[in-house]
């Protein structure tokens, strides 16, 4: 302003100056007015800038879910009117722009967009299995799915979960294979239901069992099923030799047929009972057999005093070794009552010459009480192989030779014995087998 005044003094001319003086005065007046207006505007602008500087946003940057401020918009000071555009973090996509502005020292949201998880493609299905969403509410970034196998199938892959990532689902597709149960090898068991050609035993397959030896019994389940876990629902059974527990016997009872050395009584063993004293009689069954269930065919008998018999009557007939009564069995027999006996197959019954298989009660005594069952002889291929002999005449697979039957043997090729008796008779279970020796040519 001082400079303007000096200018005025400089151009202040006397009134008798040049004729253009009036025009110059008007120009100077106009310039003065313009300069005054400019100074006023500068002062106003300077005052306004100093006011806005007092409205800097000092609060922390706004927090937006799953978004952050673009790097180029970050700074140390945010003055009035500054803007903050937000961008979505990795794995999220924008649903509208998000922007804040500094207004009167506060952050104001001017664009209300949001960031939502990036969706993944629909997961692939797998054979013999399925998937379920186990973490999250939708198939979007961060969600986890878990694959499970159908019943009867098992997971063969290391990983059975997949996570929705930025570039798609993690891990490869898992694989489900049919479960298989393994069979056990037990030569004493007959296993029915095994697949052919050694194909796997899969879920739901059943096997049935029985013992290979009739003298054995199954202990355990006779049928098992392959479960969805690849295990049998029951352990395989085992076969055990059938034995019967000896029942109590009395000193008045004699028992014949017990195993030697007190060994177990096996299936098929028959015990025979007689009374140890005269004047006693058997009460019960004279013969009991160990059955396939491990039980006796009948309770063990007892001996008790014989009741007085009517004149001419007989008590039970005397027992016949290996024989059994097949006709006329009674408790008390009158005079002239008859009882018929029978021997097992291959046994020969020997009695009196007339009616050899019958006994007769005669005036209180039994006739033909010396009756007996003569045992057969057993000739096995093992016995003949040990002695290097064979049948001279073909006999098929016959192992048993009846009492008093004649058998002729001969040496096998490559063996000889000039002193051997090759013709032999069976004598109540005994037969002398010849023996041949190998010789060198």
C-alpha to C-alpha distance for 323 and 357, rounded to whole angstroms: 10
Count Cα neighbours of 229 within 13 Å in the Cβ-side half-sphere: 4
Starting from the edge strand earliest in sequence, which strands make up the sheet with 358-362, in order? 324-327, 338-342, 358-362, 365-367
In a domain, 47, yes or no: yes
Count of structural domains within the chain: 6
Select the more confidently predicted residue: 60 or 36: 60
Radius of gyration for the alpha carbons in the chain, expressed in angstroms and rounded: 60
pLDDT for 37 equals 34
Residues 252 and 306 in one domain: yes
Instruction: Please give the angle made by the CA atoms of 141, 146 and 148, to the nearest 5 degrees.
Output: 160
Nearest to 342 by CA among 322, 328, 360: 322
Q: 341: domain range?
A: 244-368
Residues 320 and 392 in one domain: no
Residues 150 and 262 in one domain: no
Is the pLDDT at 314 greater than 90, yes or no?
no
Residues 362 and 434 in one domain: no
pLDDT for 271 equals 93
In a domain, 164, yes or no: yes
Q: What is the pLDDT of residues 190-209, one digit of tens each?
A: 999 988 877 889 899 999 99
65, 79, 83, 89 from 111: Cα distances, Å: 14, 19, 11, 17
In a domain, 403, yes or no: yes
Identify the sign of the CA torsion 218, 221, 223, 224: negative
Residues 164 and 202 in one domain: no
Q: Within its chain, how far is the Cα of 216 from the centroid?
A: 28
pLDDT for 440 equals 67
pLDDT for 311 equals 80
C-alpha to C-alpha distance for 186 and 190, rounded to whole angstroms: 8
pLDDT for 51 equals 54
Instruction: Please give the angle made by the CA atoms of 30, 35 and 41, to the nearest 5 degrees.
Output: 130
Hey, which residues does 223 pair with through a beta bridge? 208
In a domain, 123, yes or no: no
Residues 227 and 252 in one domain: no
Residues 345 and 253 in one domain: yes
Q: Which residues of 300-310 are buried (b: 16+ CB within 10 A; e: fewer)?
A: bbbbeeeeeee
Q: What is the pLDDT of residues 96-141, one digit of tens each?
A: 889 999 999 899 999 888 899 999 999 999 999 999 999 988 999 9
Residues 276 and 357 in one domain: yes
Domain boundary among 224, 239, 254: 239
Tell me the pLDDT band of 15, cut-offs 50, 70 and 90. very low
Residues 164 and 266 in one domain: no
Tell me the pLDDT band of 53, cut-offs 50, 70 and 90. low
Phi, psi of 37, rounded to the nearest 5 degrees:
-65, -40
C-alpha to C-alpha distance for 178 and 311, rounded to whole angstroms: 84
pLDDT for 262 equals 78
In a domain, 60, yes or no: no
Phi, psi of 422, rounded to the nearest 5 degrees:
-85, -15
Domain boundary among 239, 265, 284: 239
In a domain, 226, yes or no: yes
**152 near 179, Cβ under 8 Å?**
yes
- Three-class DSSP category at 4: helix
Nearest to 436 by CA among 413, 415, 421: 415
Q: What is the pLDDT of residues 18-50, one digit of tens each?
A: 444 434 444 344 444 334 334 333 333 344 444
Q: What is the pLDDT of residues 261-293, one digit of tens each?
A: 778 888 888 999 999 887 788 888 899 999 888
CATH number at residue 401: 2.10.70.10
Residues 391 and 411 in one domain: yes
Residues 149 and 201 in one domain: no
Q: What is the pLDDT of residues 336-394, one digit of tens each?
A: 999 999 999 999 999 887 888 999 998 888 988 889 999 999 998 888 999 999 998 87
Mean residue pLDDT of the chain comes to 83
Domain boundary among 196, 224, 239: 239
In a domain, 268, yes or no: yes
Residues 191 and 214 in one domain: yes
């Amino acid at each position: 302003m001082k400079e303007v005044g000096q200018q005025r003094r400089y151009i202040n001319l006397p009134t008798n100056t040049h004729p253009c003086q009036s025009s110059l005065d008007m120009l100077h007046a106009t310039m003065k007015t313009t300069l005054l207006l400019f100074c006023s505007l500068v002062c106003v602008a300077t005052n306004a800038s100093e006011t806005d500087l007092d409205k800097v946003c000092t609060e922390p940057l706004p927090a937006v879910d799953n978004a952050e401020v673009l790097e180029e918009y970050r700074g140390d000071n945010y003055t009035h009117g500054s803007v903050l555009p937000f961008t979505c973090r990795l794995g999220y996509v924008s649903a509208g722009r998000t922007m804040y502005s500094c207004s009167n020292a506060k952050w104001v949201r001017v664009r209300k967009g949001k960031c939502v998880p990036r969706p993944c493609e629909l997961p692939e299905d797998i054979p013999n299995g399925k998937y379920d969403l186990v973490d999250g509410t939708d198939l979007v970034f961060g969600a986890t799915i878990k694959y499970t196998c159908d019943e009867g199938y098992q997971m063969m892959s290391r990983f059975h979960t997949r996570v929705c990532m930025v570039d798609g689902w993690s891990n490869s597709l898992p694989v489900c294979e049919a479960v298989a149960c393994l069979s056990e090898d037990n030569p004493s068991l007959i296993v029915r239901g095994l697949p052919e050609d050694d194909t796997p035993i899969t879920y739901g397959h059943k096997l049935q069992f029985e013992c290979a030896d009739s003298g054995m019994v199954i202990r355990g389940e006779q049928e098992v099923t392959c479960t969805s876990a690849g295990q049998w629902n029951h352990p395989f059974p085992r076969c055990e030799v059938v034995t019967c527990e000896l029942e109590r016997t009395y000193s008045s009872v004699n028992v014949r047929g017990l195993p030697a050395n007190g060994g177990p009584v096996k299936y098929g063993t028959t015990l025979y009972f007689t009374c140890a004293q005269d004047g006693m009689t058997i009460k019960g069954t004279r013969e009991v057999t160990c059955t396939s269930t491990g039980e006796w065919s009948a309770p063990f008998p007892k001996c008790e005093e014989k009741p007085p018999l009517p004149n001419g009557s007989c008590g039970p007939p005397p027992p016949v070794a290996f024989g059994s009564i097949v006709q006329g069995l009674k408790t008390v027999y009158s005079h002239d009552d008859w009882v018929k006996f029978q021997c097992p197959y291959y046994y020969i019954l020997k009695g009196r010459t007339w009616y050899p298989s019958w006994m007769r009660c005669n005036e209180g005594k039994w006739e033909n009480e010396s009756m007996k069952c003569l045992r057969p002889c057993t000739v096995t291929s093992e016995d003949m192989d040990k002695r290097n002999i064979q049948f001279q005449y073909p006999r098929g697979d016959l192992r048993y030779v009846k009492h008093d039957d004649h058998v002729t043997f001969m040496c096998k090729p490559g063996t000889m014995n000039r002193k051997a008796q090759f013709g032999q008779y069976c004598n109540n279970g005994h037969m002398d087998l010849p023996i041949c020796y190998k010789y060198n040519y």
